[in-house]
Structure 1
Amino acid sequence: MELRQLRTFVAVAEEGGFGRAAARLGVVQSAVSRQVARLEEEWGTPLFERTTRRVRLSGAGERLLPEARAVLAAAGRAARVAADIVAGEDGVLRLGGVHGPGDRLDRILAELTAGAPGLRVALRSLPVTARLAAVRAGELDAALVRAVDTAPGLALLPLWTDPLYAALPQDHPLAAEPPLDIAQLAGLPLRLAPRGENPPFHDLVTSAVRAPAGPPFTGLRETLTAIGTDREPSWTVFYDVRGLPAPPRVAVRPLTRPTVTTSLAVPPGPPTPQLRELLRALRATEDTRRP
Structure 2
Amino acid sequence: MRINYDFADLEAFLAVKETGSFHLAAERLNLSQSAVTRRVQKLETALDSVLFERTTRAVKPTLAAKRLQSRAEAILDDARETASAMRDESVAYAYQRNAVVTVAVIPTVAKLIIPEAIRRFRSQGHGARFRFFDQSANAVAESVARAEADFGICSIPELEPNTRFESLFNDQIVLVLPKDHPLVAQRRLNWTDIANEDLIVPARGTGNRLLIDEAMARAGLPLLWAYEIRRSTTALDFVSEGMGLALLPRSALASYPDRGVVFKPIDNPTILRPVGMLSRIEQKQTASEGAFKDIIRTVCATL
Confirm or deny: 8 A CA contact 2:101 2:129 kept in the other structure. Answer: yes
1:93 to 101, 119, 123: 101
Partner of 1:212: 224
Q: 219, 235, 252: which one pairs with 2:245? A: 235
2:272 corresponding residue in structure 1: 259
Change (3 A) 1:242 1:225: closer
Provide the TM-score with structure 2 as the length reference: 0.58
Structure 2: where are the runs of 5+ without partners?
A: 1-6, 37-83, 217-221
1:284 aligned onto 2:282 = no
Secondary structure of 1:118's match?
coil
Aligned mates of 2:153, 2:247 — CA distance in 1: 21
Percent identity of paired positions between Structure 1 and Structure 2: 13
Number of the residue aligned with 1:274: 288
Match among 135, 141, 152 for residue 144 of structure 2 = 135
- Is the CA contact (8 Å cut-off) linking 2:113 and 2:300 kept in structure 1? no
Q: TM-score, normalised on structure 1? A: 0.60
| Counterpart Cα distance in 2 of 1:15 and 1:172 | 84
With over 3 angstroms needed to count, the CA separation of the structure-2 counterparts of 1:16 and 1:243, relative to structure 1, is same
Offset of 1:169 from its aligned partner?
A: 6.7
Q: 1:93, 1:122 within 8 Å by CA — same for their partners in 2? A: yes
For residues 163 and 142 of structure 2, the distance between their equivalents in structure 1, rounded to whole angstroms, comes to: 10
Q: Distance in 2 between matches of 1:255 and 1:181?
A: 5
TM superposition shift of 1:81: 4.1
Tell me, yes or no, if the aligned pair for 1:180 and 1:253 is still in contact at 8 Å: yes
What SS does the corresponding residue of 2:224 show, helix, strand or coil? coil
Q: Residue 238 of structure 2 aligns to which amino acid in structure 1?
A: T
1:120, distance to aligned residue in structure 2 (A)? 1.0
How far off is 1:253 after superposition?
2.4
| Residues 225-266 of structure 1 deviation map (CA, whole Å, 9 limit, x = unaligned) | 45x2x5xxx43212322356443xx76423342123321111
Taking structure 1 as reference, are residues 169 and 274 closer, same or farther at Cα in structure 2, changes over 3 Å only? closer
Aligned to 1:118: 126
Q: Which amino acid aligns with 1:114?
A: S
> Residue 66 of structure 2 aligns with which residue?
none
1:189 positional shift: 4.2
Q: 1:183–1:84: structure 2 CA closer, same or farther, 3 Å change rule?
A: farther
Q: Is the aligned partner of 1:224 residue 2:239?
A: yes
Secondary structure at the counterpart of residue 264 of structure 2:
strand
Listed as ranges, the gaps of 5+ residues in structure 1 are: 1-13, 38-46, 56-74
SS of the aligned residue for 1:125 comes to strand
Residue-pair matches, total? 231
**SS in structure 1 of the partner of residue 128 of structure 2:** strand
**2:121 matches 1:106:** no
User: How much is the aligned-residue C-alpha RMSD, in angstroms?
Assistant: 4.3
